[in-house]
Amino acid sequence: MSVITISLFALLSLFASIADASFAIFVLRKNPKSAVNQLASLVMLCLVFWGLGEFIARMTQDYQTAEITILISVIGVCLLPSFFLHFALQFTERRDLLSQQWIYPTIYVPGIIFSVLQVAGYITKTIRLSWGFTATPSTGYLPFILWLEAYFLIGLYFCYRKLASAKTRRERIQTLIVIFGATAPLVLGSLTHAFFPLFGIQTPRIAVVASTITAGTLTYGIVKFQLMSLTPETTAMNILNTMGDLLAVTDTRGYVVFTNEAFRRVLVGYGNVVGTFHLRDFLVGVDSMLDGKLWNTHMRVPQSRLMEVDYRTCNGTTFPVLLTVSPVYDYDELIGFVFLARDITEQKHLQHQLLEIARRRTEDLQHFAVSVQRAQEEERRRIARELHDDLGQRLSGMKFAIDILEDAIPQNKKKIIAKLRNIRNQIVEMITEIRRISSNLHPSVLDDFGLVIALQLLCKEFEKVHALKTAFQTSGSIPEHFDPQAEIALYRITQEALSNVAKHAQATEVTVQLSGEGNVIALSVKDNGKGFEMEKARTMRNGDQGLGLVSMKERAELLGGTFGIESQRNYGTKIHVKIPLNFHEENQDTNRR
């Protein structure tokens, strides 16, 4: 039965072990997911394991108990350099080294080998001194201590490199704390546990006690300077909090589980939103934008969605945001959504200004185009009137004079009479052509009898000239006269459509239909010709087909109407136009008879 005595040295080892254990727990609880914190805790746990072994060895009077305790507890010292070097690489953020496949075997394999050798008794052996049993160097101690010093010096070298490249005062202080916390027990432990015993000098072993300096220093660094807070999670959190965009993470039901600083800043007044608020409390219409299936845990969204919604603040005001919704998967299981919202109030304001400017410019261009068309029609009307009233009347007078002259010539002057009749026929043809030109320039029948009669006569003339069956149909309520610009536009569109039928359609029948639909006049021109491919219609030029499809479309749209065309090869073509009835005073024709 072993005798147990409690000495001052045993109590010091116990105190140091308790302090180191408390520190290890404190560091781990500070940030349990941080690799730096985990490794710092492992370093301290190695010292705890070693210190408890010293405590037992210094209390017992039994050599065998002390020997077994020391052989096992010194394993903590054998693993200590590996954990410290790993900690140093992680603390100094040497990801270039930590990403290499060889680094972890290099760090940990020697520690495992020396641990096995320690259990076999090749690293330390047990001796009894005045303060109790302790470990002293054995045959394999020198390689071990050289390896231990090398790993600690390498770790301190990386810390020094970090200190030299530190950009902030806080980062420099953090690194100095780590360097001092590791150097103090390393120097004292190397002297009392390694170099003095190698030269036969036996002194109290105080490395474990000196480790409390590390515990105190690092604890102070954590509390005062947020030591070991630069974890990947913290770095990512800092990045998210410096974003100007509003970021929120929700579960699959839409309840908020995380927000960044910008999101929380806008939500001042809501209180803590995590776990209690649904995203629809802040984003207006988000459910409807996603067809109400956002919170369906079986939904599979292949990629992010972009949409514009309104963001509601705590005081009830809203502002527009550009919202990006991205699903979050854990393997194949949907576990939540990430919402990234950017305030687009300024962009919306600028967009509204641009649209207003564009609208005004469009209105100005439309008014200008209408004015140009009105002036063009006025000039056509003037030329048509001069042709009809002036030149036409003169030719009619010449024809009348020739008729009188023919009656005055004796019947036996047949050659003269024949020449006069030939001249009269030419004059008649000229009168007919002038009337046709005059009608094309401006159909006076449109002013006199309205659009229905004008289109009816146009269809009859077209059928007569082109020997093509032409039907004209009306339906609904059509005023005799309405907006003159709309009348002339519908007439010109019909003219151009019939001209295109004659030139291109190779049709045998064409139907023109005019209908009144409420406050809208609808026109359609349909043929049974060869039709065409719609893509080719976009490439036609005005030189190919007079006004062309584009010109007809522009005429309709300038008056607030619509223009459409349907065609299929070998199935004919149909154009349809709708123009609203606008009785604006500026469009009233003062020259209409």
* Residue 503: CATH number of its domain: 3.30.565.10
Q: Return the percentage of the chain with pLDDT > 70, whole number.
A: 83
According to DSSP, the residues that pair with 329 across neighbouring strands are 334
Same domain, 415 and 294: no
Q: Could you tell me which residue, 330 or 267, shows the higher pLDDT?
A: 330
Sign of CA dihedral 286, 292, 295, 300: negative
SS percent in the chain: helix, strand, coil, step 5: 60, 15, 25
Asked whether residue 236 is domain-assigned, the answer is no
- pLDDT tens digits, one per residue of 72-98: 888 888 898 999 899 889 888 787 788
Give the pLDDT mean for 229-249. 71
Give mean pLDDT, residues 565-589.
Answer: 75
Domain match, 97 and 218 both: yes
Check whether residue 153 and residue 113 sit in a common domain.
yes
**Do 124 and 137 contact (CB within 8 A), yes or no?**
yes
Instruction: Tell whether the model's pLDDT for residue 186 goes beyond 70.
Output: yes
For 287, other C-beta atoms within 10 Å of its C-beta total 16
Is residue 495 pLDDT above 80, yes or no? yes
Could you give the CA distance from residue 560 to residue 553 in angstroms, rounded to a whole number?
A: 11
Task: Report the residue count for the chain.
Answer: 593
Name the β-bridge partners of 247. Answer: 340
Residue 219 — left, alpha, or beta (φ > 0 → left; ψ -120 to 50 → alpha)? alpha
| pLDDT surpasses 70 at 303 | no
Phi, psi of 537 (to 5 degrees): -65, -30
pTM equals 0.43
116 domain-assigned: yes
CA dist., res. 438 & res. 67, Å (int): 128
Which residue segment(s) compose the domain that 320 sits in?
A: 243-343
Q: What is the DSSP string of 42-100?
A: HHHHHHHHHHHHHHHHHHB--HHHHHHHHHHHTHHHHHHHHHHHHHHHHHTT-HHHHTS
CA dihedral 237, 241, 242, 244 (to 10 degrees): 140
Q: Which of 387, 409, 442 delimits the end of a domain?
A: 442
CA angle 355, 582, 589 (to 5 degrees): 120
- Read off the DSSP letter of residue 483: -
Q: Is 50 exposed, middle or buried (0-12, 13-18, 19+ CB in 10 A)?
A: buried
Please give the pLDDT value at position 85.
92
Mean pLDDT to the nearest integer, 239-267:
80
Residue 551 lies in a domain: yes
Q: Judge if 136 and 150 occupy the same domain.
A: yes
Task: Give the pairing of strands 509-517 and 469-476.
Answer: parallel
Task: Quote the pLDDT of residue 512.
Answer: 94
Exposed (0-12), middle (13-18) or buried (19+): which is 87, by Cβ within 10 Å?
A: buried
In which residue are the tokens 């394991």 written?
49
Question: Which residues lie below 8 Å from residue 214, measured CB to CB, with a gap of 6+?
Answer: 44, 181, 182, 184, 185
Amino acid at 209: V
214 and 159 housed in the same domain:
yes
Which among 317, 12, 306 has a CA at the least distance from the CA of 134? Answer: 12
User: Domain boundary at 175, 198, 230, which?
Assistant: 230
Residue 300 belongs to domain with CATH number: 3.30.450.20
Same domain, 41 and 98: yes
